[in-house]
């Protein structure tokens, strides 16, 4: 499955990167929308966000903190390189909504005590202690949502996972040939709901670290974000 | 007074009836002198700059130009192209990668293809027909045909490649989908979907990638869903795939696949990013995501352009 993922994800990254950049170009000649009859009912109109677009532009510097969990097991092992985490996200939003940023995140991880069932030999218990660091760049788009901003993102970067199996030789748990820390590429779809007031910017969000290196588990991380927007 | 007369004359001559757009407060009362000087002024006045283009007007995500055709009864408006670039889908048409191209012929007809699948030995074309449109209830139908040539499926590696390379298959999805705009902010969808699959070649292993990706499974399922329009640019979407019957047509027997291995749910957000550019981010949960990507919870994303 690993070679398959690598080939696929590289292609997907290139395609989506092109798509996001193309999206920043002026849209094709629009025509006024003909709203369905149901949409013109007498019910309260949903808010138009057009007026808020001008305020999207600016630099933002956000501190992030939250908690994450692995969504995959690796070679029958339960690894938890995410857990509690903190980091930083710095970027710029263009007036049209395009958001470019760089991010860094350190995840404390946690210890996972588990019973391993080898294909040959007796079962044994051991503890896997893992943590990780991730960094990369992100292409995103800010969409006004009433007084809030909905930020779509897709990050591309590197994750470095430290692991320690104690006295258990790595080869016994099919980690032979790997060294700690193990490094791999990731891409990271994300979403955040942000509130801006003056210089303050903060909100909640999540990021999904889809790991290309099959030895590093993918993970879902929920974050609180707090910082400034200039 | 002379300047005012010049202004009025220029407005009439150059704006061709758009004088109503001018500030009425600056307009003098109608006088007999103005028409008399019009011809002279028209010859001498420099060309005025073109009036500013009015800002683009877009409807909300329920309007026909902007509504989602994915999992709904709706189809693209006449002479509208839609291109969809994304990855990590789990449906038969957008599994792995999506480079979709769709065109609306008008009258509710549209055709759609995933060009990305061409590169990996898969082909699928879907025809859509939105044949009933009322104020609160719409019906549409989808008919597709897909062909997979295992020999060209280079994504598979090792043992999986050996298995897949011996298989060719034809897939015919048929779907009837109902959409209802219950309120200004809520749309409900319900689809009944049937996948017919005919496999050719050695096909005795129900663990092959085609089967796991549900590209080689005869299946009937319901797909209820809801869209909540939280603003004119953003909607939340929630869909479930509830299979009633799933079976793998092997050479000598048909193996049924239990419900717990085929159901899935997805939650997503769709926004109009700019103009006619849309962004989608979804989280999928189900066995098929586990099979395809190694995790039961997995994201997919795409960007859609309409012209």
Threshold 0.90, pTM exceeds: no
Chain A's closest residue to B228, CA to CA, is: A46
pLDDT at B55: 60
For the residues A222-230, what does the mean pLDDT come to?
A: 94
A32: helix, coil or strand? coil
Q: Domain for residue A39, yes or no?
A: no
For the residues B222-243, what does the mean pLDDT come to?
A: 95
Residues A42-86 have pLDDT tens digits of 334 444 444 444 478 899 999 999 999 999 888 788 899 999 999
For the residues B194-198, what does the mean pLDDT come to?
A: 89
For residues A85 and A87, what is the distance between their CA atoms, to the nearest angstrom?
A: 7
Residues B68-126 have pLDDT tens digits of 999 999 999 999 999 988 877 666 556 667 788 999 999 999 999 887 777 667 788 99
pLDDT at B94: 62
B117: helix, coil or strand? helix
Tokens of B162: 């050996």
**Helical H segments across chain A, by residue range:** 2-23
pLDDT at B147: 86
Residues B30-53 have pLDDT tens digits of 444 444 444 444 545 566 676 766
Q: How far is A189 from chain B (nearest CA, A)?
A: 7
Report whether pLDDT(B261) > 70.
yes
- Per DSSP, the residues of chain B read -HHHHHHHHHHHHHHTTGGGGS-GGGPPPP-SHHHHHHHHHHHHSPPPPPPPPPPP----TTSTTTS--TTSS--PPTTEEEEEEEE-B-STTTBSEEEEEEEEEETTEEEEEEGGGGGGTEEEEEEEEEEEE-SS-EEEEEEEEEEEEGGG-TT--HHHHHHHTTEEEEEEEEEEEEEEEEETTEEEEEEEEEEEEEEEE----TTSHHHHTTSS-EEEEEEEEEEEE-SSSEEEEEEEEEEEEEEEE-SS-EEE--GGGT-EEEEEEEEEEETTEEEEEEEEEEHHHHHHHS-SEEEEEEEEEE-
Report whether pLDDT(A152) > 70.
yes
Q: Domain for residue A46, yes or no?
A: no
The pLDDT-based confidence of B56 (bands split at 50, 70, 90) is low
CATH number of B80-306: 2.40.160.40
Q: Is the peptide bond before A22 cis (omega within 30 degrees of 0)?
A: no
Question: Which residues touch A120 (CB under 8 Å, ≥6 apart)?
Answer: none
User: A193 is in which domain, residue-wise?
Assistant: 56-229
Interface of A with B in 56-75 (CB under 8 A): 71-72
Q: Domain for residue A112, yes or no?
A: yes
For the residues B269-275, what does the mean pLDDT come to?
A: 92
Q: CB–CB of A143 and B233 under 8 A?
A: yes
Residues B248-258 have pLDDT tens digits of 877 677 778 88
pLDDT at A168: 85
Q: Domain for residue A197, yes or no?
A: yes
The beta strands (E) that lie in B230-263 are given as: 234-249, 254-256
Report whether pLDDT(A219) > 70.
yes
Q: Domain for residue A51, yes or no?
A: no
Interface of A with B in 85-124 (CB under 8 A): 96-97
For the residues B49-63, what does the mean pLDDT come to?
A: 71
Total number of domains in chain A: 1
Q: What is the CATH number of the domain that holds A216?
A: 2.40.160.20
Q: Domain for residue A127, yes or no?
A: yes
The pLDDT-based confidence of B156 (bands split at 50, 70, 90) is low
Q: How far is A222 from chain B (nearest CA, A)?
A: 14
Question: For residues A70 and A217, is the Cβ–Cβ distance under 8 A?
Answer: yes
Bridge partner residues of B206 (DSSP)? none
For residues A114 and A129, what is the distance between their CA atoms, to the nearest angstrom?
A: 11
The complex's ipTM? 0.74
Q: CB–CB of B298 and A71 under 8 A?
A: yes
On chain A, the residues whose CB falls within 8 A of the CB of B299 are 189, 208, 210
Tokens of B298: 């997995």
DSSP B61: T
DSSP B50: P
Report whether pLDDT(B224) > 90.
yes
Residues A90-129 have pLDDT tens digits of 999 999 999 999 999 999 999 988 888 877 778 888 889 9
Chain A's closest residue to B306, CA to CA, is: A28
């Amino acid at each position: 499955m690993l070679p398959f993922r690598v080939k696929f994800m590289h292609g997907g990254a290139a395609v989506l990167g092109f798509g996001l950049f193309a999206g920043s170009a002026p849209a094709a000649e629009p025509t006024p929308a003909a709203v369905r009859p149901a949409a013109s009912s007498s019910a309260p109109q949903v808010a138009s966000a057009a007026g808020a677009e001008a305020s999207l532009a600016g630099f933002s510097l956000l501190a992030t903190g939250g908690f994450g969990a692995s969504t995959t097991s690796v070679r029958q092992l339960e690894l938890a390189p995410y857990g509690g985490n903190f980091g930083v996200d710095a970027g710029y939003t263009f007036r049209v909504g395009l958001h470019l940023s760089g991010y860094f995140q350190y995840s404390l991880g946690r210890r996972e005590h588990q019973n391993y069932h080898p294909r040959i030999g007796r079962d044994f218990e051991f503890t896997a202690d893992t943590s990780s660091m991730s960094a990369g760049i992100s292409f995103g788009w800010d969409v006004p949502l009433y007084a809030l901003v909905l930020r779509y993102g897709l990050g591309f970067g590197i994750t470095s996972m430290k692991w320690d199996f104690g006295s258990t030789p790595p080869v016994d748990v099919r980690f032979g040939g790997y060294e700690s820390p193990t490094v791999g590429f990731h891409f990271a779809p994300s979403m955040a709901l942000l509130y801006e007031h003056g210089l303050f910017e903060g909100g909640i969000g999540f990021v999904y670290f889809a790991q290309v290196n099959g030895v590093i588990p993918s993970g879902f991380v929920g974050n609180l974000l707090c910082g400034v927007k200039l | 007074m002379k300047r005012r007369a010049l202004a009025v004359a220029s407005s009439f001559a150059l704006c061709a009836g758009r004088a109503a757009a001018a500030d009425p407060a600056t307009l003098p009362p109608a006088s007999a002198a103005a028409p008399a000087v019009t011809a002279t002024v028209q010859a001498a006045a420099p060309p005025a700059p073109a009036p500013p283009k009015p800002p683009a007007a877009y409807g909300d995500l329920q309007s026909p130009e902007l509504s989602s055709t994915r999992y709904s009864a709706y189809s693209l408006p006449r002479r509208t192209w839609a291109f969809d670039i994304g990855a990590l889908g789990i449906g038969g048409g957008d599994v792995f990668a999506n480079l979709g191209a769709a065109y609306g012929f008008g009258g509710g007809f549209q055709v759609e293809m995933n060009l990305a699948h061409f590169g990996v030995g898969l082909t699928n074309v879907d025809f859509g027909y939105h044949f009933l449109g009322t104020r609160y209830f719409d019906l549409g139908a989808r008919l597709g045909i897909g062909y997979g040539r295992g020999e060209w499926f280079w994504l598979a590696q090792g043992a999986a490649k050996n298995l897949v390379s011996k298989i060719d298959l034809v897939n015919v999805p048929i779907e009837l989908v109902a959409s209802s705009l219950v309120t200004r902010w809520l749309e409900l969808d319900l689809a009944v979907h049937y996948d017919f699959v005919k496999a050719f070649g050695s096909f005795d292993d129900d663990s092959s990638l085609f089967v796991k990706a549900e590209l080689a499974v005869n299946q009937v399922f319901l797909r209820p869903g809801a869209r909540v329009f939280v603003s004119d640019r953003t909607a939340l979407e929630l869909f479930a795939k509830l299979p009633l019957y799933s079976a793998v047509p092997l050479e000598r027997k048909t193996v049924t696949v239990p419900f717990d291995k085929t159901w899935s749910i997805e939650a997503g957000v769709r926004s109009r990013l700019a103009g006619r550019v849309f962004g989608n981010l979804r989280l999928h949960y189900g066995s098929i995501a586990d099979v395809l990507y190694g995790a039961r919870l997995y994201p997919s994303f795409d960007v859609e352009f309409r012209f």
